[in-house]
Amino acid sequence: RTVYLNGDYLPEEDAKISIFDRSFLMADGVYEVTSVLGGKLIDFAGHSKRLERSLNELEMQKPEVFDDLLDIHRELVRLNDIDEGMIYLQVSRGSAGDRDFAYPNSDVKPTLVLFTQSKPNLADNPAAKIGIKVISIEDQRWGRRDIKTVQLLYPSMGKMMAKDAGCDDAWMVEDGHVTEGTSNNAYIVKGDTIITRHLGTEILNGITRAAVLRFAREAQMKVEERSFTIQEAKDADEAFITSASTFVMPVVTIDGAPIGIGTPGPVAARLREIYLDESRNSAL
Ligand code: PLP
């Protein structure tokens, strides 16, 4: 695999960063995951905008090549011959050559890394026909979940708790209300209304969420952005998640309780189809 590191395209085994890099020592880094369909990038503009916001919120320097990121993504797709898959991008605050809680001086350059992951069945994912099973867990992450940082230990623990319970993912709950999945936004459907948590510092502003809600409204579907409980989810007609790597994915059980009749619902299926069609049409 050819990866990108600070201006160079290199074989992955030759891409090396300092042990003092702050993403390694302090989780002082932000990231984006953009999917690739038919060799083209999905929702690139949204991911680029959110990256800029994450950097601003953490007073982190923009990489010098920020305006060339689309070209860099495309070059990696070309070099690795990716038809369907993902591109991971990470910016860390860089390395000042020692460990220090305070941010280093502004002459320290950020570290920029990108790599591809080939996933031949990303759009035609068999899981979309079966649906996924989730458990609920307490949300024990930090309070700025609107920033997409690489501080992902609690989401990893949540994923392991789900696996141990024979499930696929965990929905996190704070003050009795669902925040989001370990790496996705959470939705329920009641009658003809799609319900998903309102934006705030408690969740990540999903790029797929924004697109799916826009398409739902354009298709005259009702959308409510508000918090909901696990009980409400268990009583819902449907549930689903969205993210760049799963698009729209039905949820069929929560803590073992079937949602609706326990099979993927029509609203999730329709939104998945619309999302895939529309984003393929506007892919870069
Ligand atoms: N919420 C969290 C915590 C995530 O990590 C992610 C994606 O990684 C999402 C939501 C979905 O965001 P997006 O649709 O931009 O992939």
Alpha carbon 47 to its chain's center:
10
pTM for the predicted model, two decimal places:
0.97
pLDDT digits (tens, 9 = 90+) for 106-152: 899 999 999 999 999 999 999 999 999 999 999 999 999 999 999 99
Mutate to test the pocket of ligand 1, among 88, 140, 141, 184 (most ligand atoms within 8 A of CB): 184
Contacting residues for 216 by C-beta, under 8 A, at least 6 apart: 194, 223, 271
Note the CATH number of domain 2-118. 3.30.470.10
pLDDT digits (tens, 9 = 90+) for 164-209: 999 999 999 999 999 999 999 999 999 999 999 999 999 999 999 9
Say if CB 87 and CB 33 are below 8 A apart.
yes
Atom 5 (ligand 1) nearest CA: 183
- Is the domain defined by 127-281 classed in CATH 3.40.50.1400? no
ipTM above 0.95, yes or no: yes
Rounded Cα distance, 91 and 28, in Å: 9
Ligand 1 and 197: CB distance under 6 A? no
Alpha carbon 223 to its chain's center:
21
Give the residue range(s) of CATH 3.30.470.10 domains in the chain: 2-118
- Treating both helix axes as pointing N-terminal to C-terminal, what angle do 266-281 and 207-218 enclose, rounded to 10 degrees? 110
Ligand 1 and 34: CB distance under 6 A? no
Give the residue range(s) of CATH 3.20.10.10 domains in the chain: 127-281
Atom 2 (ligand 1) nearest CA: 183
Percent of the chain with pLDDT over 70: 100
Which ligand 1 atom sits nearest the alpha carbon of residue 182?
3
The answer to whether 148 is a known catalytic residue is yes
Mutate to test the pocket of ligand 1, among 183, 197, 209, 279 (most ligand atoms within 8 A of CB): 183
Say if CB 257 and CB 229 are below 8 A apart.
no
Rounded Cα distance, 251 and 153, in Å: 23
Percent of the chain with pLDDT over 90: 99
E strand spans, the chain: 2-5, 8-11, 29-37, 40-41, 85-92, 111-118, 132-138, 169-174, 177-181, 185-190, 193-196, 222-225, 238-243, 247-254, 257-258
